[in-house]
A and B are shown apart, each in its own frame.
Chain A
C-alpha cells in the first residue's frame, strides 16, 4: 500500500512534465494543426540550452531558465516564419515531413556539437528528501513540479487574458475572420509556435535538473507528447494537464507492478485505445469537421 502511494507520487511528478511539454504540443498540433514531430527535439534543445547556460556560462538556475526561454522562443518564432509558414494550409503531410526533417537535423547536429554524454543541470535546491506521510520525494522534485504548475498557469493567463491570447483564440476559430478584423495572423501563428517551443524547452530544462538530459531524448518525448495530446483532446488545456498526469501515473504503476522494460508500451496502448474508442479525446473542445 505504501508502495502504491509512492508510485502514484512518482507518477504525478513525471506526469507534470508530460503535461508541460504536451501543453506546448497542444498549442502547435491541437490549435495550429502542425503535426510537429520536432517537438521532442525542441524539448531536448531546452535541456541543452539550460546546460550551456548554467554549466558553460555559469549563470544561476533562474537566469539560465530565463535565457533558455528567450533563446528557444526566438528559435520557435524563426522555425515558424521560415519553415512552417511556407507549408501552411497545405494539409498535414508537408508539415509532418518538414518537422521530421527538422528533427533529424536538430538531433544529429546537436549530437555533433554536444556529444552523447548525459548533461546534468545544476538545480536551485539540494536533492534533500522530503517526507510527506509514507511518500518520499526530494526538494528538487517538489520545486520542479511547482515550477511546472507556475509555467502552466502563466501560459493559461497569456492565452486567456492578454491581447495576444485573444488574437490567438480568434485566429484558431476562424483565420479569415481574424484577418478581416485586422489581426496579423502570420504573427499570431509564429507567437503560438514560439510559446509552444518555450513550454517544451522549459520542460526539458526542468527535467534535466532532476534527472539528466541527453541529445537523443527527443524522439520518445515527441511520441509521449502526442499520446498526451490525443488522450486529452486536441487543443485542450485541461486535457493536456489531465492526460499528462494520467500517463505519468499509468507508467509509474506499470513500471512498479508489471515490468520496467516495457513502460513505454503503455503510452502506445493508451493512444490506440483512445483513437478507437474516444477519438476526440477526454476533453476535446472542438468537434472535428470532415
Chain B
C-alpha cells in the first residue's frame, strides 16, 4: 500500500515536470496519449483485476463518453469543462444498465455478452446517421475556449495537464476504491466467491460498484479524447482500442494500480517507435500477447512484486509474516 502510494506520487511529480522540460509537440502528444491510455487501462483494471471478470466490452464506455462529449459540444454548444464530466456520468449510467445485465453472468458468458454490447453500440453509431452522423463520424468538436489564441505548444501543454488531472483523478478514485472495504470485498469475491458469500459479501453489489466506477472513468477518458482529437467515429467502439487496453493491463500486471500505468507507457511507446515496422507491428503485438500469457502470467508488476517480496523475506526472515499490504 505504502509502496504503491509512494511510487504513484513520484510518477505524478515526474509527469508534472515533464511538459516544462520538454518543448517538443510530438513528445507532448505521446505523453498525452500515455495518460489517456493510463486512465483507460486503470478503468479496465478495476473490472479485470478487481472484479476478476474479463470484459471485452469496455470500449462501450469509452465510445459512449466520446460520443456524449462530441454531441453535447456540437449540438448544444456546451464547453469542455461541462461535457467531459457529463460524458463520465452518461457512461456510468450505461454502466449501471449494462452491468445489471452482464454481471449476472460469469466466465466466457460475461466475455461474450460484454463484447456483444460494445458491438451493438458500434453498429448503432455506424448506422444511425441522423444522430451520430454514421460512418462519417462527428468532426470539429470544439476545443476549450481559452485555447482560442494559444500557440500549438501551449495547447499541447494544456491538454497534457488536463490529461494528467484526469489520470490523477482516476488513480485517486481507484486507490480509494481498492483500499476501502469495497475493494477488499471485491478482492475476496475475486479470490473465492463462495467464501465471500459465506461471510456476508454480496458479489453482485461489489462487482457492480467496480463496474460503474470503471465505466465512469472510461467515459471521462472518452470525453477527453473527443475534445483532444476533435473527431469521433464509430472506431472508438472498435476492437483495436479494446486490444490495446487489454495488452496494457496484462503486460503491466492486473490487480495492481501501477501495472496499468506501466503498461500504458510501454505499449504507447512501443506503438510509436515500432512505426517503422508498421507492417510487422501488429503481428509482433500478437506474439507479445501470447508470450506474456505463457511466460509472465501476472504481468511486470506481478513479477516485480514477487521479487520484492522474496527479497524482503530473505532480509528479514522473522518479520516476513507481516503482510506488506501489496495487492494479491
Contacts and interface: CB of A to CB of B under 8 A. Distances in A.
Interface of A: 29, 33, 35, 83, 86-87, 91-94, 96-98, 100-109, 112, 219, 223, 226-227, 230, 259, 261-262, 264-265, 268-269, 271-272, 275-276, 279
A252 B123 CA distance: 17
B107 interface: yes
Interface of B: 54, 56, 101, 105, 107-109, 111-113, 115-117, 119-120, 123-124, 126-127, 239, 243, 246, 250, 279-280, 282-283, 285-290, 292-294, 297
A28 to B, nearest CB: 11
Nearest to A86: B294
A279 B105 CA distance: 9
A101 B109 contact: no
Instruction: Give 10 nearest A-B pairs by CB, closest first.
Output: A105-B286, A101-B289, A104-B286, A108-B282, A101-B290, A268-B116, A108-B283, A35-B108, A265-B123, A97-B293
B283 A109 contact: yes
A92 B54 contact: yes
A240 to B, nearest CB: 15
Contact of A101 (B101, B115, B286): B286
Given A94-B293, A271-B113, A272-B113, 17 more contacts: A87-B294, A92-B111, A96-B56, A96-B111, A100-B246, A100-B289, A101-B285, A103-B286, A219-B239, A223-B119, A230-B109, A261-B126, A262-B123, A264-B119, A265-B123, A268-B120, A272-B116
Contacts of B246: 97, 100
A96 B54 contact: yes
Greatest chain B CB density within 10 A among A102, A219, A275 is at A275
Given A97-B250, A112-B280, A223 B115 contact: yes
**In the complex, which of the residues A93, A112, A219, A262 has the most CB atoms of chain B within 10 Å of its own CB atom?**
A93
B54 A93 contact: yes
Contacts of A268: 116-117, 119-120, 123
B111 A35 contact: yes
Contacts of B105: 275, 279
B94 to A, nearest CB: 14
A226 B110 CA distance: 12
B286 A271 contact: no
Contacts of B243: 100, 104
A106 B105 CA distance: 30
A272 B108 contact: no
B290 A102 contact: yes
B287 A105 contact: yes
A97 B292 CA distance: 9
Nearest to B118: A268
B252 to A, nearest CB: 14
A107 B289 CA distance: 14
Among A33, A219, A264: residue with most chain B CB under 10 A? A264
B101 A276 contact: yes
A227 to B, nearest CB: 8
A279 B287 CA distance: 34
B100 to A, nearest CB: 10
Given A98-B294, A223-B115, A264-B119, A104 B285 contact: yes
A92 B116 contact: no
Contacts of A106: 286
Contact of B290 (A35, A98, A264): A98
A70 B107 CA distance: 33
Residue of A86, A100, A102 with highest tally of chain B CB at under 10 A: A100
A228 to B, nearest CB: 12
Nearest to A91: B107
Nearest to B242: A100
B244 to A, nearest CB: 11
A108 B286 contact: yes
Contact of A29 (B56, B108, B288, B297): B108
A119 B246 CA distance: 32
Contacts of B282: 104, 107-108
B123 A264 contact: yes
A150 B162 CA distance: 61
A30 B290 CA distance: 22
B289 A104 contact: yes
Given A94-B297, A272-B101, A279 B289 contact: no
Contacts of B297: 94
Given A104-B286, A106-B286, A112-B279, A259 B113 contact: no
